[in-house]
């Protein structure tokens, strides 16, 4: 069977279930395609050929016994910030270049229970700090739609890999838009779940109160299937919420008549690309045509403070989380120094990249004596106001619809020397992490040969309604069917 690498999760599952293909055949086809395109895209830090075939053989044995689940035998890419036992986990940093975790993240345990197949670990901005995957210590990932453009970040490797069919689905992590923004840039589906819906155990920490693991997939049905597996309470992560996980695929069977959608004016920011605005307006009109009740005059007034608050809160948490990389316990260690203190200083100087050091310094300054009240404490108060904005909006609306990014993918190198311009890439996604609500990015159109994403935002733990609206839009359009060509 040709083009097995281009299958969706649900199509691959049906073929495996009916025994029309085996997991080994599927995995070999995906690996073959990956090695054909990887030299151009550079989505993966590590490709696990031998492990993938071993996983596939194990999955085929399970299928032969009649033990097949939605993700059984289906190849996946995992962002290299999620711990995988026995497989290198680098965070795309020299600091962890040779780190091999002795344990699996909870999401990996859940995938292993399904007998999944791991194809590789994906490139990212170092320690998830960036919006373009240009901050990797190893190499720059390229956007499959235009190899001169970035794929977004920090989950750029996962998004680019799925866009060009290097796996059937992927996992990413999202601290300020790191799943949704690259999903938008690469024309795929990316979901950031509610904070506490998916365990963070085994996710290398950037900003612990903001980080969430989520799926990056080829369509909304696949997104529902992957979320179904990775969601749920975890005793290893005290921030997960002990709520039952609904059957997300059931939400896909409902229409969206009568669903109230608000369009917050603050997300159509100054400097937004004109074509992106026009595509988003058409997409929202499409939702209205499907029966949704759209209010074009919604407002989240504290949104304008989200960017400033985020770049105090996230670096502050990062400065505390990254203090553990001192060259003593694990990771890179600078040798040949005269004292322990010099060794620790040199380890961080040479082990971290420029963006990571920039954020550590920002965070350390914001937490320092004399500045804590003026910066960090004030940012926490603004966070409360932003969260209250969403609570009030969701008393009136079921869903909010916004751009995922104010622009399409920009050229590699275009913003690398301008951190503030780079930070503005996430202006539409940051408030969602600050409030802890779920959001999904879905393909909504193209301009200049590059994808444009629409972001749908929901109430806490209302991923089912997000998937419902996203699926209805997807089925009424053909944007998710478009595929990049590297020829």
Distance CA 150, CA 156 (A): 8
295: which residues sit within 8 A by CB, 6+ positions away?
A: 260, 261, 262, 263, 396, 397
- Mean pLDDT along residues 287-305: 97
pLDDT at 1 over 80: no
Instruction: Write down all domains in the chain, each with its CATH number in brackets.
Output: 4-254+409-481 (3.90.1300.10)
Please report which confidence band the pLDDT of residue 10 belongs to, taking 50, 70 and 90 as the band edges.
very high
State the Cα torsion 439-318-238-76 to the nearest 10°.
Answer: 60
Please report which confidence band the pLDDT of residue 185 belongs to, taking 50, 70 and 90 as the band edges.
very high
Distance CA 317, CA 179 (A): 20
User: Whole-number mean pLDDT of the chain?
Assistant: 96
- pLDDT (tens digit, 9 = 90+) per residue, 57-76? 999 999 999 999 999 999 99
Specify the DSSP element, H or E, that contains 180: helix 180-186
Q: Poorest-confidence range of 82-96, 199-213, 375-389, 411-425?
A: 411-425
pLDDT at 274 over 90: yes
pTM above 0.95, yes or no: yes
Nearest C-alpha neighbor of 426 from the set 280, 219, 217, 267: 267
pLDDT, residue 270, reads 82
> Which residues are marked as active site?
79, 154, 178
User: 323-351: string of b/e by CB count within 10 Å (b at 16+)?
Assistant: eebbbeeebbbbeeeeeeeebbebbbeeb
Distance CA 71, CA 108 (A): 12
- pLDDT (tens digit, 9 = 90+) per residue, 105-114? 999 999 999 9
- pLDDT (tens digit, 9 = 90+) per residue, 389-427? 999 999 999 999 999 999 999 999 999 888 878 888 899
Distance CA 311, CA 185 (A): 22
Structure tokens at 182: 């690259």
Nearest C-alpha neighbor of 201 from the set 89, 324, 109: 109
Phi then psi dihedrals of residue 429, to 5 deg:
-105, -25
Radius of gyration of the chain measured on its C-alpha atoms:
21
**3 exposed, middle or buried (CB, 10 Å; 0-12, 13-18, 19+)?**
exposed
Structure tokens at 309: 């608050």
Nearest C-alpha neighbor of 59 from the set 44, 70, 45, 43: 70
Coil, helix or strand for 107?
helix
Q: State the angle between helix axes of 274-289 and 463-475 in degrees (0 to 180), rounded to the nearest 10.
A: 100
Share of the chain above pLDDT 70, in %: 100
- Share in percent of the chain as helix, strand, coil (round to 5): 45, 15, 40
Q: How many CB atoms lie within 10 A of CB 214?
A: 31
- Region label for 249, one of left (φ > 0), alpha (ψ between -120 and 50) or beta (otherwise): alpha
Phi then psi dihedrals of residue 144, to 5 deg:
-60, -20
Please report which confidence band the pLDDT of residue 25 belongs to, taking 50, 70 and 90 as the band edges.
very high
Distance CA 59, CA 79 (A): 22
Please report which confidence band the pLDDT of residue 487 belongs to, taking 50, 70 and 90 as the band edges.
low
């Amino acid at each position: 069977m040709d083009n097995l690498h281009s299958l969706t999760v649900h199509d691959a599952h049906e073929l495996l279930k009916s025994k029309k293909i085996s997991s080994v055949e599927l995995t070999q086809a995906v690996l073959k395609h990956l090695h054909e395109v990887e030299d151009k895209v550079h989505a993966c830090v590590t490709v696990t050929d031998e492990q993938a075939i071993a996983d596939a053989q194990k999955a085929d044995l399970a299928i032969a016994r009649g033990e097949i689940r939605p993700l059984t035998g289906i190849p996946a890419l995992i962002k290299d910030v999620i711990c995988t036992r026995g497989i290198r986990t680098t965070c795309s940093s020299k600091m962890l270049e040779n780190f091999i975790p002795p344990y699996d993240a909870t999401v990996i345990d859940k995938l292993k229970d399904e007998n999944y197949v791991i194809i590789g670990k994906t490139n990212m901005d170092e320690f998830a700090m960036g919006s373009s995957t240009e901050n990797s210590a190893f190499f720059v990932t390229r956007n499959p739609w235009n190899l001169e453009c970035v794929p977004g970040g920090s989950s750029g490797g996962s998004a680019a890999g799925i866009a060009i069919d290097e796996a059937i689905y992927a996992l990413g992590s999202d601290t300020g838009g790191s799943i949704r923004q690259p999903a938008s840039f690469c024309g795929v589906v990316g979901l950031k779940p509610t904070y506490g819906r998916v365990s963070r155990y085994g996710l290398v920490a950037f900003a612990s109160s903001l980080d969430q693991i989520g799926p990056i997939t080829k369509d909304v049905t696949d997104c529902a299937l992957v979320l179904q597996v990775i969601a749920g309470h975890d005793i290893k992560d005290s921030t997960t919420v002990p709520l039952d996980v609904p059957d997300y695929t059931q939400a896909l069977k409902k229409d969206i008549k009568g669903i109230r959608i608000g369009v917050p004016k603050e997300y159509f920011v100054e400097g937004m690309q004109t074509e992106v605005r026009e595509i988003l307006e058409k997409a929202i009109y499409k939702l209205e045509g499907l029966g949704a009740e759209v209010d074009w005059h919604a407002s989240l007034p504290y949104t304008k403070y989200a960017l400033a608050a985020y770049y105090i809160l996230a670096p502050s948490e990062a400065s505390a989380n990254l203090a553990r990389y001192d060259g003593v316990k694990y990771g890179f260690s600078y040798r040949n120094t005269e004292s322990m203190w010099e060794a620790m200083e040199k380890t961080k100087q040479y082990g971290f990249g420029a963006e990571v050091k920039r954020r550590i310094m920002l965070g350390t300054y914001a937490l320092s004596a004399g500045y804590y009240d003026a910066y960090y404490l004030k940012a926490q108060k603004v966070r409360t106001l932003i969260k209250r904005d969403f609570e009030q909006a969701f008393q009136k609306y079921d869903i909010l619809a916004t751009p995922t990014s104010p622009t399409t993918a920009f050229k590699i190198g275009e913003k690398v020397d301008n951190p503030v311009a780079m930070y503005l890439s996430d202006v539409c996604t940051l408030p969602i992490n600050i409030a802890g609500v779920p959001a999904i990015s879905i393909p909504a159109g193209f301009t200049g040969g590059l994808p444009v994403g629409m972001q749908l935002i929901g109430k806490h733990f209302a991923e089912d309604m997000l998937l419902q609206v996203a699926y209805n839009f997807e089925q009424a359009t053909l944007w998710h069917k478009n595929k990049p060509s590297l020829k």
